[in-house]
Amino acid sequence: MCEVGEDYRAPAGQPPPRPGREQKCVKCKEGLPVVVIRAGDAFCRDCFKAFYVHKFRAVLGKNRLIFPGEKVLLAWSGGPSSSSMLWQVLEGLSRDSAKRLRFVPGVVYADEGAACGQSPEDRAKTVAEAKAGLAERRLPVVFSLPPSVLRCSAREPVGTEGAYKAAVDSFLQQQHALGEEQQSLPCPPRPPIRAGPPTAGQTEALSTLFSSVETLTAKEELLRTLRTHLILHVARTHGYSKVMMGDSCTRLAIKLMTSLALGRGPSSWSAGFSDERHGDVVVVRPMREHTLKEVAFYNRLFAVPSVFTPAVDTKAPEKASIHRLMEAFILRLQAQFPSTVSTVYRTSEKLVKAPRDGCAAGTPGPRCLLCMCVLDVDTADSATAFGAQTSSQLPQTQPPVAQAEAPTVSCCCTGMGAALSAFCSCREEDPRARVIEQLCYGCRVNMKDLPSLDPLPPYILAEAQLRSQRAEAEQIQEYLLEDREDEDARPGES
Amino acid sequence: MPAPQCASCRKARAALRRPRSGQALCGTCFCAAFEAEVLHTVVAGRLLPPGAVVAVGASGGKDSTVLAHVLRELAPRLAISLHLVAVDEGIGGYRDAALAAVRRQAARWELPLTVVAYAELFGGWTMDAVARSTAGSGRSRSCCTFCGVLRRRALEEGARRVGATHVVTGHNADDMAETVLMNFLRGDAGRLARGGGLGSPGEGGALPRCRPLQLASQKEVVLYAHFRRLDYFSEECVYAPEAFRGHARELLKLLEAARPSAVLDLVHSAERLALAPAARPPPPGACSRCGALASRALCQACALLDGLNRGRPRLAIGKGRGGLDEEGPPGRRGSQPSGPPASEPIPGF
């Protein structure tokens, strides 16, 4: 492969020599090898297990983010990687030695059947299977269902606000942030550990939302966003300060390339070890050094149970969405150039999102409503802003309200308006514009596939309303005179 | 069903739909819009100041033909003068035909043309000879690496000969997107961090380079060439099937089919890449042979040629470059720290 810095090796036509029958395990040199990882590294069963477990522990230990006694939520999707992660955690906890893992785990499983169009009976079956799989684990299990996200309309905006404050105030002291966060939130009544089945109305609301999305790409992105929100919400209400996601190396490489193609940039947030976008709850990825191949081998050799849950893109053709395309492409390329996945993965570690020109490192800008990334809105003279303008300057695609605006700065309704759009007259008339201008580039492109923002969960719309009111209040703040009798007190201001 | 009216002049029948916006336009209005957009790119980015002598890298292909034509139309407004610089890599059966096309264009547009040949600049090495040399050691795929580096050097040299102050190339938005994908797949963090933006200001004595067509999609470039009836050479290079860029190109085509704005999204992502502080390379110095910008003792072009001349063409491609600095028998001295790749003499694309 034309990889940068690649050593001169044998011509690409010849595959690496396959291990013969007489070959021993490369590590202990004694046992018979049962599995071949990478090119030609044959391991025996015990060495493989040791290698696998060691990698898991090393990732956790090197980063030192998980403190002893901390409550950690394990996000389990039923798939092989997260099942493997769950298994590792359980094994790690049960060791009777000083090397025991010392945090307090809980498991969350999000049932996404409604989004995928599964009938309630199928979903109940899947949930029962999942429960059975975990029955003997004796872990507190939270089965949360996406419609409950629609239910917590009053709570979620406060949660997001609390997180933002926590992010600004107590960046480094994560444990203290947990304490503050729990005190500052108005204590909601805790939902029962096993939430009841969702009402038909909520299920229908969710299906309406997902069927109104036009492309599979936007559907997957929306589902991902909602799932993240849900897991965070569960973590916050139950007092978990860390969430562990089971993304493997292969999955992360695909995610990286996908987010590049979706306009989210190198997205070191979603692929690094720790994701601190959400302030009080930190998302960590302990499986990030394991390739999918290793996970599969381990699960098979050591009988790790996993549950198959159909997803939005199950049985979808390869070209249906960007995610599928990228997955197929990378896996195909990996077959030809075995170092593809690790190269992409290592490259992402070297790159970061560039700060806006001259922006001080300490002051975080406004954050995207959906994905919590810093807003990377293009100013009017940036290259892609111009490219987007020429493509969106179009009477047909813009709503008629926006047509009156100056064509040089494209209106916030469909384009990438800058702060100037805050004073745009169409904003008050168009609630969609109000939401769109609080999103980052990647989320905006997704929203284009959503013809109407009404089916979005009420907590998102409420938070958008809150933020724009707050922004308005800040803008007029400097003009307000400090006169007690005439103090402008608009109702509903924070 | 008859074609709708042109959305811009509302007089003529529309002859095409713009790929990005779906707007229906007649031929004249489309060409005018295309030229206006290129003008805006140049002006807003302050790429070509008035009085600039601009060397246009002309390969005879659609991008450079369109670029030369558009710049020629805009030259009076921008107050720049143009020279065509064509590079003869010495690829038999391909480059000769392309050069003939360039010569015809130069004659038709009355623009001065300079041809620089690899054989003349690089001690007799043509691309065919390079390909033979690298094929002998088992990897003919790397001849595209040679061609890219040497061509930029040749273009720079040609521009200097005509006394140019700026160099322009015809890269379009699709090229940028492909490059981002390709560099990510190859693991070239250095080039990814440098690549965003509209061109390079020119460091270490290199001329400033820019890409006025950077925001135009490839389809629009082809449409423009069609409506202006431009004569260009449209065959693929003989060595292209072996290039790694082919994979990135195929991926981009698929992405574009799934989401039409994929190209723009990739360019947006690319604008925001920067190297993490830990991975930043040391500031570059000068090449000991030719004086161009280099992060090691020899710049990439000199290093590649050195390898070719010593009969070890892959000497400068790869991690162990310890043998570059000495004149004596080549021997790999210890391993170089495996950091970011050696920089090109001219900041890369």
Kindly write down the DSSP assignment for every residue of A376-404, as one continuous string: -PPPTTSHHHHHHHHHH--TTTS-GGGGG
> Cβ distance A413 to A399 under 8 Å?
yes
Whether B312 has its CB under 8 Å from any CB of chain A: the answer is: no
For residue A395, list chain B residues with Cβ-Cβ distance below 8 A: 7
Which of A391, A396, A397 to mutate to probe the B interface, most B CBs <10 Å?
A391
> Cβ distance B55 to B46 under 8 Å?
no
- DSSP class of A374: B
Please name the residues between 65 and 104 in chain B that touch chain A, using a CB distance below 8 Å: none
Instruction: Give me the pLDDT at residue A193, please.
Output: 42
Whether B17 has its CB under 8 Å from any CB of chain A: the answer is: no
The 10 Å CB-count burial string (b at 16+, else e) for B277-309 is eebeeeebeebeeeebbbbbbbbbbbbbbbbbe
- DSSP class of A193: S
Ligand-binding site membership of B59 (annotated): yes
- pLDDT above 90 as % of chain A: 1
Which residue from A345, A371, A385, A348 is spatially nearest to A443, judged by alpha carbons? A371
Query: B68 vs A463, which has greater pLDDT?
Result: B68
For residue B247, list chain A residues with Cβ-Cβ distance below 8 A: 333
Give the gap in angstroms from C-alpha B316 to the nearest C-alpha of chain A: 9
Which of B41, B188, B259 to mutate to probe the A interface, most A CBs <10 Å?
B259
pLDDT over threshold 80, residue A483: no
Terminal alpha carbon distance of chain A: 57
Ligand-binding site membership of B58 (annotated): yes
Whole-angstrom CA distances from B19 to A394, A398, A489, B261 are 13, 17, 50, 10
- pLDDT above 70 as % of chain A: 57
Cross-chain Cβ contact B261/A349 below 8 Å: no
Which residue from B70, B71, B89 is spatially nearest to B79, judged by alpha carbons? B71
Instruction: Give the one of B18, B258, B265 whose C-beta lies nearest to A445's C-beta.
Output: B265
Helix (H) or strand (E) holding B324: none
Whole-angstrom CA distances from B230 to B45, B66, B105 are 27, 8, 9
Instruction: Please report, for chain A, how many H helices and E strands are present, in that order.
Output: 19, 9
> Cβ distance A126 to A309 under 8 Å?
yes
Which residues of chain B fall short of a pLDDT of 70?
A: 1, 136-141, 195-204, 274-280, 312-349
Sheet holding B209-210, edge to edge: B113-117, B81-88, B53-57, B166-168, B209-210, B199-200
Query: A89 vs A409, which has greater pLDDT?
Result: A89
For residue B172, list chain A residues with Cβ-Cβ distance below 8 A: none
For residue B102, give both structure tokens.
């360039």
Instruction: Give me the pLDDT at residue A159, please.
Output: 37
For residue A386, list chain B residues with Cβ-Cβ distance below 8 A: 37, 40-41, 44, 215
pLDDT over threshold 70, residue A74: yes
Residue with tokens 């923002």: A453
What are A340-378's pLDDT values in tens digits? 888 888 888 777 665 544 444 444 567 777 777 777 665
Give the gap in angstroms from C-alpha A265 to the nearest C-alpha of chain B: 4
Which residues have a Cβ under 8 Å from the Cβ of B108 and sit 6 or more positions away? B231
User: Region A123-147: what's the mean pLDDT?
Assistant: 55
Q: Which of A140-154, A358-372, A380-394, B287-301 has the highest mean pLDDT?
A: B287-301
Give the gap in angstroms from C-alpha A44 to the nearest C-alpha of chain B: 32
Q: In this predicted complex, what is the ipTM?
A: 0.78
For residue B173, list chain A residues with Cβ-Cβ distance below 8 A: 387
For residue B27, give both structure tokens.
């031929």
Please name the residues between 117 and 156 in chain B that touch chain A, using a CB distance below 8 Å: 137-139, 141-142, 144-145
Q: How far apart are alpha carbons A326 and A264 in whole angstroms?
A: 15
Instruction: Give the one of B173, B185, B279 whose C-beta lies nearest to A387's C-beta.
Output: B173
Instruction: Give me the pLDDT at residue B221, please.
Output: 92
Which residue on chain B is closest to A5 by alpha carbon? B318
- Residue A442 gets the label, from left (phi > 0), alpha (psi -120 to 50) or beta, of alpha
For residue B205, give both structure tokens.
């004595």
Cross-chain Cβ contact B265/A261 below 8 Å: yes
What are B254-272's pLDDT values in tens digits? 998 888 888 888 888 877 7
Which residue on chain A is closest to B22 by alpha carbon? A391
Amino acid at B313: P
pLDDT over threshold 60, residue A286: yes
Instruction: Give me the pLDDT at residue B222, please.
Output: 92
Q: How far apart are alpha carbons A456 and B81 in whole angstroms?
A: 55
Which residue on chain B is closest to A317 by alpha carbon? B258
Which of B133, B185, B242 to mutate to probe the A interface, most A CBs <10 Å?
B185
Whether B214 has its CB under 8 Å from any CB of chain A: the answer is: yes
pLDDT over threshold 50, residue A426: no
Query: A251 vs A494, which has greater pLDDT?
Result: A251
Residue with tokens 């069927």: A211
Q: Output the CA angle A183-A189-A192, nearest 5 degrees.
A: 125
Cross-chain Cβ contact A266/B272 below 8 Å: yes
What are A82-126's pLDDT values in tens digits? 888 888 888 877 765 556 677 777 877 777 666 665 565 666 666
The 10 Å CB-count burial string (b at 16+, else e) for A280-291 is bbbbbbbbbbbb
Residues β-bridged to residue B286:
B293
For residue A463, the number of C-alpha atoms closer than 13 Å in the C-beta half-sphere is 27
Average pLDDT over chain A, rounded to whole? Answer: 67
Instruction: Give the one of B193, B272, B274 whose C-beta lies nearest to A376's C-beta.
Output: B272
Give the gap in angstroms from C-alpha B106 to the nearest C-alpha of chain A: 30
Instruction: Give me the pLDDT at residue A240, please.
Output: 82
Q: Is A110 helix (H, G, I), strand (E, B) or coil?
A: strand
For residue B279, list chain A residues with Cβ-Cβ distance below 8 A: 349-351
Instruction: Give me the pLDDT at residue A274, please.
Output: 74
pLDDT over threshold 60, residue A387: no
Give the gap in angstroms from C-alpha B188 to the nearest C-alpha of chain A: 6
For residue B278, list chain A residues with Cβ-Cβ distance below 8 A: 350
Which residue on chain A is closest to B40 by alpha carbon? A386
Cross-chain Cβ contact A259/B269 below 8 Å: yes
Within a 10 A sphere around the Cβ of A476, how many other Cβ atoms? 10
What are A163-222's pLDDT values in tens digits? 433 333 333 333 333 433 333 332 222 232 444 455 666 677 777 777 888 888 888 888
Query: A280 vs A258, which has greater pLDDT?
Result: A258
Q: How far apart are alpha carbons B250 and B228 in whole angstroms?
A: 28
Which of A350, A378, A443, A449 to mutate to probe the B interface, most B CBs <10 Å?
A350
For residue A160, give both structure tokens.
């997001």
Helix (H) or strand (E) holding A343: helix A340-350
pLDDT over threshold 60, residue A29: yes
User: Region A228-237: what's the mean pLDDT?
Assistant: 79
Q: Output the CA angle A238-A242-A246, nearest 5 degrees.
A: 110
